[in-house]
């Protein structure tokens, strides 16, 4: 019986538990013994590798986060610790490994694969949606719904006062979450690294809107810009609007997984196990144009993710100061 393990690395996302459930069920269906690695790459080094059974995944579909924990491992960057991790897997007879994580996790896994020969398949799992080669990463849909609910609630308060609310989303240096959230929530302004906009260019348009009765503003900014307080001050100093900054923070990573993320978790894991069984020993499952495909780790982890041009065009049209309605 083949032995296969799974671990979570880096930031947690909603949908990881759904992936774990499918992993156990599908591994057994394929006559494989599944193993959980607790605490990510740290668990590989510390030998926290245990057999997984149906009872371990009962009732976890509705839970955010990850039952087997996650971690970022500085030790795994060192060859001596990777050698320990490889030996721990060999002693248990584990020859295949699935990693839920981001490009940093995959870069570490590529080196580990070449050193140890352990077969590997990665599943893109980050709400930042910033992994090259895939249009979608596990956890993104749930994060977008959390942001949507937050912005909708903040709009209720904004419309009850004469205020501007500056809402900061996660995403590191990628503006995907901010842009999609701003478009779908009807925000007045969206500021992301990929679309440079000077907030001062909005002044004339906003002054005209205020004269015509506008009495609140919703602004969505990406955390990568690090300028939410500056934007709030601008509304107060230039437009005389009392302003508030709402940093959504880690609520975006948690919560009950959406139906879409649960379904995608099942599909990602199914494709990962199937490709490992065919002998593809070093790949990442990607999802593009509504189809699954496989790319090398080098394609995914060593190339910068670029936002879809159609989405950027939509954002430029929607939020360009020149398109602001007087």
Please pick, among 12, 46, 56, 128, the residue that the annotation labels catalytic: 128
Query: Which among 132, 301, 158, 287 has a CA at the least distance from the CA of 232?
Result: 158
Residue in the structure block whose two tokens are 């679309």: 195
d(CA 2, CA 93): 8
Which residues is 190 bridged to in the sheet?
220
Query: How many CB atoms are closer than 10 A to CB 29?
Result: 10
**What sign results for the dihedral spanned by CA atoms 118, 47, 108, 248?**
positive
Produce one character per residue of 263-297: b if its CB has 16 or more CB atoms within 10 Å, e if not: ebbbbbbbbbbebbeeeeebbbbbbeeeebebbeb
3-class SS string, 256-293: CCCHHHHHHHHHHHHHHHHHHHCCCCEEEEEEECCEEE
Residue 173 falls in the annotated catalytic set: no
- Are 16 and 125 spatial neighbours (Cβ–Cβ below 8 Å)? yes
Strands 282-288 and 291-295: antiparallel
The catalytic residues are 128
């Amino acid at each position: 019986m083949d032995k296969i393990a799974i671990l979570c690395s880096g930031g947690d996302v909603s949908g990881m538990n759904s992936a774990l459930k499918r992993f156990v069920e599908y591994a057994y269906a394929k006559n494989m013994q599944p193993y959980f690695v607790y605490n990510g790459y740290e668990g590989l080094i510390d030998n926290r590798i245990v057999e997984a059974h149906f009872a371990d995944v009962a009732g976890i579909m509705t839970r955010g986060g990850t039952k087997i924990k996650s971690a970022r491992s500085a030790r795994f960057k060192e060859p001596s610790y990777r050698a320990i991790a490889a030996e721990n897997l060999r002693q248990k007879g584990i020859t295949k490994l699935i990693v839920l994580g981001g490009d940093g996790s995959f870069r570490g896994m590529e080196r580990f694969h070449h050193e140890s020969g352990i077969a590997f398949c990665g599943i893109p799992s980050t709400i930042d949606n910033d992994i090259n080669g895939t249009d979608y990463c596990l956890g993104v849909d749930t994060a977008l719904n959390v942001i949507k609910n937050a912005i909708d609630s903040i709009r209720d308060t904004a419309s009850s006062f004469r205020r501007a609310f500056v809402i900061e989303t996660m995403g590191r240096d990628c503006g995907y979450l901010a842009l999609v959230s701003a478009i779908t929530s009807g925000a007045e302004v969206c500021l992301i690294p990929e679309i440079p906009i000077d907030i001062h260019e909005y002044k004339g348009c906003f002054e005209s809107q205020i004269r015509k009765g506008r009495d609140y503003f919703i602004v969505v900014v990406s955390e990568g810009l690090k300028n939410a307080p500056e934007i709030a001050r601008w509304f107060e100093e230039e437009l005389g609007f009392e302003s508030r900054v709402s940093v959504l923070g880690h609520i975006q990573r948690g919560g009950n997984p959406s139906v879409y993320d649960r379904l995608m978790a099942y599909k990602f894991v199914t494709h990962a196990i199937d490709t490992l069984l065919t002998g593809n020993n070093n790949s990442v499952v990607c999802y593009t144009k509504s189809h699954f495909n496989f790319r090398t780790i080098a394609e995914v982890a060593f190339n910068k993710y670029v936002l879809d041009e159609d989405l950027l065009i939509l954002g430029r049209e929607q939020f360009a100061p020149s398109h602001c309605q007087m």
